[in-house]
Amino acid sequence: MRLYDHEIINLIKERWSPRAISSDPVDKKDIVAVLEAARFAPSCFNEQPWRFIVANDEKSLKKMRNLLATSNQVWANSAPVLILVLAFNKFAYNGKDNFWAKFDTGTSWGFMSLEAVNRGLVTHAMGGFNRKEAAAVYSLDENTEPIAIVALGKYGNAQDLPEELREREYPSERNSQEKFVVWDTE
Ligand SMILES: Cc1cc2nc3c(=O)[nH]c(=O)nc-3n(C[C@H](O)[C@H](O)[C@H](O)COP(=O)(O)O)c2cc1C
């Protein structure tokens, strides 16, 4: 069970990464809204380095599913929307390396995940996919890095999951702040 030491907004409290995702389609208006939330993330120099490839029809979903690790395909193949999250790692205005590209792209995914909650949807990010193959399949240039694939959909039925995943189908806990925050004060 999740316990909160401080009061925070409900969208954050309600977000988690389930694996039981229903194959019911997601309305296009909801897909564009979660992308809109990602759009308004802050970024270094307002570079907006995030890029998204959205798969929501059978052909495009099949193509993206093929990139997933088998352990993710087991549950993520039912998701009606898969989003490949990419980071463009150069600054457009001067062509120099953008050290913050992945930081900003992560923020945009975070925003996206919260807007999904707001719309009664769930998201689950996956690092378990073949990044090299993704670059080839989508003809990515060398400055555009595949970061994650996000499954988006409505919450499904945990009973449909294989047993070992069913047992892990609950919101996970967190470290206490003492573990990751240093107050550099008296
Ligand atoms: C970048 C990233 C990569 C992840 N990769 C996977 C993955 O390949 N497979 C998986 O089942 N979950 C994956 N997750 C989900 C995490 O395990 C999950 O977010 C974490 O355990 C915290 O749980 P919560 O999101 O339910 O709060 C990933 C999450 C992130 C942000």
Q: What is the pLDDT of residues 76-102, one digit of tens each?
A: 999 999 999 999 999 999 999 999 999
Distance (Å, rounded) from C-alpha 121 to C-alpha 152? Answer: 7
Does residue 45 have a pLDDT over 80?
A: yes
- Over the stretch 123-139, which tens digit does the pLDDT of each residue have? 999 999 999 999 999 99
Q: What is the number of domains present in the chain?
A: 1
Does residue 1 have a pLDDT over 90?
A: no
Distance (Å, rounded) from C-alpha 116 to C-alpha 35? Answer: 9
How many whole angstroms from 123 Cα to the centroid of ligand 1?
A: 10
> 98 Cβ partners below 8 Å, 6+ apart?
44, 47, 49, 88, 89, 90, 91
Q: What pLDDT does 11 receive?
A: 98
User: Do 80 and 24 touch, CB atoms closer than 8 A?
Assistant: yes
The residue among 167, 135, 14, 7 whose CA lies nearest residue 67 is 135
pLDDT category, 40, cuts 50, 70, 90? very high
Distance (Å, rounded) from C-alpha 70 to C-alpha 89? Answer: 28
Does residue 116 have a pLDDT over 90?
A: yes
Q: What pLDDT does 12 receive?
A: 98
Give yes or no for residue 68 CB within 6 A of ligand 1. no
Q: What pLDDT does 174 receive?
A: 97
101 within some domain = yes
What is the mean pLDDT of the segment spanning 16-36? 98
CA-nearest residue for atom 6, ligand 1, is 126
What is the percentage of the chain residues whose pLDDT exceeds 70?
A: 100
34 within some domain = yes
Q: What pLDDT does 66 receive?
A: 98
> 67 Cβ partners below 8 Å, 6+ apart?
84, 129, 130, 133, 134, 137, 149
User: What is the value of pTM for the model shown?
Assistant: 0.98
87 within some domain = yes
Encoded amino acid at 4, one letter: Y
Give yes or no for residue 148 CB within 6 A of ligand 1. yes
Q: What pLDDT does 33 receive?
A: 99
Give yes or no for residue 16 CB within 6 A of ligand 1. yes
163 within some domain = no
186 within some domain = no
The preferred substitution site among 12, 73, 112, 124 for testing ligand 1, maximizing ligand atoms within 8 Å of CB, is 124
105 CB neighbour count, 10 Å cutoff = 26
91 within some domain = yes
In DSSP notation, 21-88 reads B--SPPPHHHHHHHHHHHHT---GGG---EEEEEE-SHHHHHHHHTTB-HHHHHHHTT-SEEEEEEEE
3-state secondary structure of 94: coil
How many whole angstroms from 11 Cα to the centroid of ligand 1?
A: 17
Give yes or no for residue 98 CB within 6 A of ligand 1. no
CATH number reported for the structural domain that contains residue 28 in this entry: 3.40.109.10
Domain that holds residue 59: 22-155
Give yes or no for residue 121 CB within 6 A of ligand 1. no
What integer best gives the mean pLDDT of the chain? 97
8 within some domain = no
180 within some domain = no
Give yes or no for residue 120 CB within 6 A of ligand 1. no
How many whole angstroms from 135 Cα to the centroid of ligand 1?
A: 21
Does residue 186 have a pLDDT over 80?
A: no
